Amino acid sequence: MRFVVDVMLGSLARWLRRLGYDTDYANDRDDRELVRIARAEGRVLLTRDSALATRKGISTLLIESQALDEQLAQVVRAFPPPHEVQMPRCAECNAPLQAVSPDEVVEQVPSYIYCTRKHFRRCPGCGRVYWPGSHWERIHQRLKLIRSRGCDADSP
């Protein structure tokens, strides 16, 4: 599943990339440009704008919540994530991340991270290094919950 994301949903776009979704996002696009990309590349437009969400000729998903977790839950329910999050993408530039050994990133990560983590990934586009952190784990827990409960994920 490929997305193009409305300028108002930058945080959602970054998390969708981390979860492996091919997510096109830039913070300077107008409605016309968003619709053009959705149409040209067959991407689903994620937006909080109900007028934009009813645009003809493209697939859209109207994002209902302002809370990131709820937004992610809504997208994951509508479009289950690609291959179990095996291939996360760079939050900044959408390139699929590559697994690298700790030794390869020793110069790039804080020493306490180097000492406490075993798994790192690097973006071949911008060189950023990623590792599982508490926020990441929280989102994955949330995703598990969404999957295990199906449509009841919003219930406490």
Of the two residues 63 and 97, which places its CB atom closer to Zn ion in the complex? 97
Tokens 């990560």, located at residue: 109
What is the rounded distance in angstroms from the CA atom of residue 148 to the CA atom of residue 156?
14
Residue 12 interacting with Zn ion (CB under 5 A)? no
Judged by CB under 5 A, which stretch of 6-14, 34-42, 56-64, 93-101 contacts Zn ion? 93-101
Q: Binding-site residue total for Zn ion (CB under 5 A)? A: 6
Q: According to CB under 5 A, which one of 10, 96, 102, 125 is a site residue for Zn ion?
A: 125
- Interface with Zn ion includes 154 (CB under 5 A)? no
Rounded Cα–Cα distance for residues 53 and 85 (Å): 27
Touching Zn ion, residues 126-145 (CB under 5 A)? 126
CB of 14 to Zn ion, least distance (A): 11
DSSP string of 21-42, one letter each residue: -EEE--TT--HHHHHHHHHHHT
Task: Give the Cα separation of 88 and 131 in Å (integer).
Answer: 11
